[in-house]
Amino acid sequence: MSAEALPKTYDPAGTEDRWQRLWEEAGAFHPDPEAPGEPFSVVIPPPNVTGSLHMGHAFNTALIDTIVRFQRLRGRNVLCLPGTDHASIAVQTILEKKIQAEGGSKHDLGRDAFLERAWAWKAESGGTIVGQLRRLGYSVDWGRERFTLDAQLNRAVVEAFVRLHEQGLIHRGEYLVNWCPASGSAVSDLEVEMKEMDGHLWHFRYPLSDGPGPDGIDHLVVATTRPETMLGDTGVAVHPGDARYAQLVGKTLDLPLVGRKIPIVADEHVDPAFGTGCVKVTPAHDPNDFAIGSRHGLPLITVMARNGSMNEAAGRFAGLDRFEARKAVVAAMEAEGFLVKVEPHRHSVPISDRGKVPVEPLLSTQWFVKAEPLAARCREALEAGEPRFVPERWSKVYRDWLTGIRDWCISRQLWWGHRIPAWFVVSETSGVITDATPYVVARDEAEARAKAEAQFGAASEAAGRALQLEQDPDVLDTWFSSGLWPFSTLGWPEESNADLATWYPTSVLVTGFDIIFFWVARMTMMAGAFTGRMPFRDVYIHGLVRDENNRKMSKSAGNGIDPLLLIERYGADALRFALVREVAGAGQDIRLDYDRKSDTSATVESSRNFANKLWNATRFALMNLGGATPASLGEPDPESLQLADRWILSRLARVNRETAERYGSYGLGEAAKGLYEFAWNEVCDWYVELIKRRLNPGDTASPEALADQRTARQVLAKVLGELLVMLHPLMPHLSEELWHGLTGEPEGTFLALQPWPAVDAAALDDALEARFAELIEAIRVVRNLRAVAGLKPSQGAPVVFVSGRAGLAAVLRQATAEISALTRAESVQVLDPEAAAARAGERCLAGVSGELQVLLPLEGLVDLEALRGRLAKDLAKAEKEIAGLAGRLANPNFAGKAPPEVVAECKANLAEAEAQAELARKRLAELG
């Protein structure tokens, strides 16, 4: 690529598409398990096929891809495995809405037709998502793409279910579950969100069956937030120590509206100080009441149907929706004189995450995973440091959840998902599934039949009926299959699978803190049970992307930003870089700056500008390397390096070391910031500017000048080449493009697969970096003086440096040509203080930096006012410093207790500040 071929600004669109295509066509990210290199593996958190990606996915993707690209450059045998999740309940909700909008229902459609639509939806949504992931430049292995409902993954799910069942860790039973009437399914505890809402506390009078006792009490008052449940009351509880009611325990009440006699029981759970100290007990509709009921043998009466309406047990209220029934019950209680009072009451209401309606605790027969034994294994592993959480504090959140874990309800009354591998022997219960129907759990129907034959065959035959099986119609919680993701995707349960052998356990899981319980913990529990090891060494937990108002970006809140919009505007690399750069303080949420009116983001724009800066730095190099490449130029000869060369090579080595360290320890934001500063503020602002003269020695250049030109070219090529490698994990497309431009490598060779450059430890030079910083500062002072004096940029001026330090003076003398170029100096003189004294009285612009004086003798050109202002400012600054430092040194404790080097530094700084103040005073006096 020639420099002329490069336009002045970088246009990401074509470049990014092209490299994505070339990488994929070449199978650049399709690793071989047998290939050399220490294995490094990541399975991506599979996005739900619920539409399209949001910024949170882009963020997660940027982090993962940065990590895996870095590891690839480090020579690891990297597998990054992509895929998508079927998301039973979310997808089913979307589809049902669509079908409803068309005027139908899923039941009209039937199971098979519904599933056909679901698969069609999956194809569409999954395709969109995969396209978006590609568009981000994700270096995943598309050849190993998985979907949680793939046949192979289904095999894993079935196997896992069967084995857990065999181990007695899965059971079926009737319990109070969280019922979501909107979805028509049970949901797990985690899928319920407690939401503070304004409600009411209704106080009801329940009369004693036997009329007033000796103390005149003829009723109890109970309070409730859910009046409709009173229809299912089977008792009233009081605290055993509550003297008010002690003599009533054991008596019965007449339940209003229903007429049932319900007992008064004593139970510790009741808080005597709350309300009247009497609690109505509805065991079939409230978890606490369920517990009380089971302690006292109270019957369970379910008064609600699964669609959220009242059932026949609700008597005259049957058929009413639960909220209608609430009103009706209150009205009836009031009409019959049982309503004592109504109070406004703020309380927490359990809301179904997916259905967005209050969940109903409902008695129902479901499948459960006994979580404690699985969790115990995870807790032990955590004690041993597995997995390692980054940041560490999340391990506590994880451990706390695993401690005191409750059983996990895994069955869902849905169609889209992994069907439960249990077959009911319906021939035992007249052809229908009841709670009493026996069942077998098996890998497939044939195995089920064999098992059923063995258990029930003889009896069936004896009874003269054919053995009839029916598979459980329900599906499994999506997270059951997601829990297997790190190994089901690699071929489990086929233990001999090469992928599994090479890449399991995976190296790191990268995900947001919001799914530590849902997903991370489920994966560790499943992995512990089936593979005997934790599924990943590290868990890197990142924050959430929040919008400009600090709200979590989410589809349901409607505040999401489409990553594609930003990619189209600024490029994928710019978006990635912006997201990673924002993550510097690991684990913190990031707020993406965004203007919804114009669809612009200043943050992403600045990353785009950075991309453009790199583009132009490379363009500059191509214009000045004379057609050579880093390879053809070769390594520079250490003997011929100039000061600036040695400086930038020292910086390069240091940045290389730091960056590798940061990439390797999840310091991704720091890595991004460090590279940004190095590339822009050191390479572009200083090094490139400093070598321009050497790169253009002119037509009549001496052999020495030509040799020096070659050195400058070598160093520039090396620095730029390495910089591009280091930037590659963050800005893969741009770096790939520029690297090809710089090296002239053919399209089939990829920067993505190059080795990370070795750190040239010999180039590291602290002292030189320090001296160079002083040179930079000296140039800054000159520029500042010129600006203060109001000199036109084109106007030349002589520059005089006065320094008593030989080292600095030598550096300045060495760099006079560069200084001239960077400051428009007509001449550069470096004097020692004695020589300068001889020139005292000359009218100059004067500035001070450390012990260095910078003079611009500008007889006749000087703006006296500006000069005084500048000196006064220097003086004030120096005096402020003196006050601070002197104050510290005056404290006897400081000298006595602070480390000697700190004291020495303080003294040196004081001396310097005093010298500075003195110089400024003298100059001011000279001006009169």
Residues 599-628 that bind RNA (CB under 7 A): 602-603, 606, 608-609, 611-613, 616-617, 619-620, 623
Among 884, 914, 924, 927, binds RNA (CB under 7 A): 884
* Residue (of 207, 243, 212, 241) closest to 222 by Cα position: 207
Given 3-state DSSP classes, what are the helix, strand and coil percentages for the chain, each rounded to the nearest 5? Answer: 50, 20, 30
| Residues 391-450 interacting with RNA (rule: CB under 7 A) | 393, 396-397, 400-401
The site for RNA, by CB under 7 A, has a size of 90
Among 59, 416, 517, 536, binds RNA (CB under 7 A): 517
Q: By rule CB under 7 A, what string of x and - marks binding of each residue 568-597 to RNA?
A: --------------x-xx--xxxx-x----
Separation between Cα atoms, residue 382 and residue 119, nearest integer Å: 39
Among 263, 277, 293, 421, binds RNA (CB under 7 A): 277
CA 448 to chain centre: 43
Judged by beta carbon, residue 76 or residue 888, the one nearer RNA is: 888
Q: Is 366 left (phi over 0), alpha (psi -120 to 50) or beta?
A: beta
Nearest-10 crossing angle of helices 371-383, 394-402: 150
Judged by beta carbon, residue 82 or residue 732, the one nearer RNA is: 732
The one-letter code for the residue type at 722 is: E
Judged by beta carbon, residue 764 or residue 903, the one nearer RNA is: 903
Smallest distance from RNA to CB 754, Å: 23
Judged by beta carbon, residue 72 or residue 280, the one nearer RNA is: 280
| Residues 215-254 interacting with RNA (rule: CB under 7 A) | 222-226
| Residues 521-550 interacting with RNA (rule: CB under 7 A) | 546, 550
Helices (H), 110-167: 111-135, 151-166
* Beta-bridge partner residues of 77: 39
Separation between Cα atoms, residue 682 and residue 692, nearest integer Å: 14
Smallest distance from RNA to CB 184, Å: 23
Judged by beta carbon, residue 96 or residue 670, the one nearer RNA is: 670
Q: By rule CB under 7 A, what string of x and - marks binding of each residue 44-73 to RNA?
A: ------------------------------
Smallest distance from RNA to CB 743, Å: 18
Smallest distance from RNA to CB 110, Å: 36
Q: Name the segment binding RNA (CB under 7 A); options: 30-38, 332-340, 699-707, 783-791.
A: 783-791
**Is residue 780 a contact residue for RNA (CB under 7 A)?**
yes
Give me 311's structure tokens: 């059932």
* Beta-bridge partner residues of 347: 197
Q: By rule CB under 7 A, what string of x and - marks binding of each residue 105-144 to RNA?
A: ----------------------------------------
CA-to-CA dists, residue 801 to 642, 778, 840, angstroms? 21, 8, 13
CB 558 within 8 A of CB 552: no
* Residue (of 290, 52, 30) closest to 144 by Cα position: 30
| Residues 247-276 interacting with RNA (rule: CB under 7 A) | 269-275
**Is residue 200 a contact residue for RNA (CB under 7 A)?**
no
Cβ burial of 410 (10 Å; 0-12, 13-18, 19+) is buried
Smallest distance from RNA to CB 9, Å: 4
Judged by beta carbon, residue 395 or residue 489, the one nearer RNA is: 395
Smallest distance from RNA to CB 922, Å: 21
Q: Name the segment binding RNA (CB under 7 A); options: 19-27, 171-179, 321-329, 672-680.
A: 672-680
Among 50, 52, 471, 784, binds RNA (CB under 7 A): 784
**Is residue 894 a contact residue for RNA (CB under 7 A)?**
yes
Give me 471's structure tokens: 């598979």
| Residues 449-468 interacting with RNA (rule: CB under 7 A) | none
**Is residue 13 a contact residue for RNA (CB under 7 A)?**
no
CA-to-CA dists, residue 297 to 209, 232, 233, 450, angstroms? 20, 15, 13, 40
Judged by beta carbon, residue 286 or residue 472, the one nearer RNA is: 286
Smallest distance from RNA to CB 920, Å: 15
Smallest distance from RNA to CB 194, Å: 4
- CB crowding 785-815: b at 16 or more within 10 Å, else e: bbebbebeeeeebebbbbbeeeebbebbeeb
**Is residue 899 a contact residue for RNA (CB under 7 A)?**
yes
Smallest distance from RNA to CB 678, Å: 12
SS (H, E, C) 408-453: EECEECCCCCCECCEEEEHHHHCCCCCCCCCEEECCCHHHHHHHHH
How many C-beta atoms lie closer than 10 Å to residue 211's C-beta?
A: 9
Smallest distance from RNA to CB 884, Å: 4
**Is residue 773 a contact residue for RNA (CB under 7 A)?**
no
**Is residue 377 a contact residue for RNA (CB under 7 A)?**
no
Sign of CA dihedral 298, 299, 305, 310: negative
**Is residue 902 a contact residue for RNA (CB under 7 A)?**
yes
Smallest distance from RNA to CB 782, Å: 9
Judged by beta carbon, residue 222 or residue 819, the one nearer RNA is: 222
* Beta-bridge partner residues of 470: 424
Separation between Cα atoms, residue 175 and residue 715, nearest integer Å: 73
Give me 855's structure tokens: 């003079």
Separation between Cα atoms, residue 428 and residue 201, nearest integer Å: 48
Judged by beta carbon, residue 19 or residue 756, the one nearer RNA is: 19
The one-letter code for the residue type at 857 is: P
Smallest distance from RNA to CB 522, Å: 14
Smallest distance from RNA to CB 672, Å: 11
Smallest distance from RNA to CB 784, Å: 4
**Is residue 203 a contact residue for RNA (CB under 7 A)?**
no
CB 667 within 8 A of CB 661: yes
Q: By rule CB under 7 A, what string of x and - marks binding of each residue 545-564 to RNA?
A: -x---x-x------------
Judged by beta carbon, residue 327 or residue 347, the one nearer RNA is: 347
CB 311 within 8 A of CB 304: yes
Smallest distance from RNA to CB 879, Å: 11
| Residues 679-708 interacting with RNA (rule: CB under 7 A) | 680, 684-685, 688-689, 692
CA-to-CA dists, residue 140 to 60, 64, 398, 749, angstroms? 13, 10, 28, 18
Smallest distance from RNA to CB 539, Å: 15
Sign of CA dihedral 788, 794, 796, 800: positive
The one-letter code for the residue type at 578 is: A
CB 870 within 8 A of CB 788: yes
Judged by beta carbon, residue 12 or residue 505, the one nearer RNA is: 12
Smallest distance from RNA to CB 332, Å: 18
Separation between Cα atoms, residue 138 and residue 563, nearest integer Å: 14
Give me 359's structure tokens: 């969940």
Among 194, 331, 335, 840, binds RNA (CB under 7 A): 194
Q: Name the segment binding RNA (CB under 7 A); options: 327-335, 559-567, 898-906, 920-928.
A: 898-906
* Residue (of 367, 461, 462, 471) closest to 425 by Cα position: 471
Smallest distance from RNA to CB 16, Å: 13
Q: Radius of gyration over alpha carbons of the chain, in Å?
A: 38
